[in-house]
Amino acid sequence: MSIISGIIGGMIVLFATKFTQKRALAKQFFKMFYIVKDYCISSGAEFIERMKDLSAESKAEYEKENIEK
């Protein structure tokens, strides 16, 4: 959701500043890029953490089942 809002916000800023200097437009573009980059990094970290938790839970259940046999 944040990635979409970052892109939309960046596009609004780009259109709103259409008549400003090219330097200002480039700065706004880079700000939008950093918003998207930060979102992707945090999403990736959350995904990795979920996979680690899922792996640990699966391993614990597997070992519990093998001990019962």
Please say whether the beta carbons of 7 and 36 come within 8 A: yes
pLDDT for residue 25 is more than 80: no
Determine the average pLDDT of the residues in 25-52: 86
**Rounded to whole angstroms, what are the CA distances from 12 to 17, 33, 61?**
8, 14, 50
More confident site: 8 or 28? 28
pLDDT for residue 8 is more than 80: no
pLDDT for residue 53 is more than 70: yes
Alpha helices in 1-69 (DSSP H): 2-16, 22-68
How many domains does the chain divide into?
A: 1
State which residues form the domain around 34: 2-68
In the structure, what pLDDT confidence band is assigned to residue 26 with cuts at 50, 70 and 90?
confident
Please say whether the beta carbons of 25 and 47 come within 8 A: no
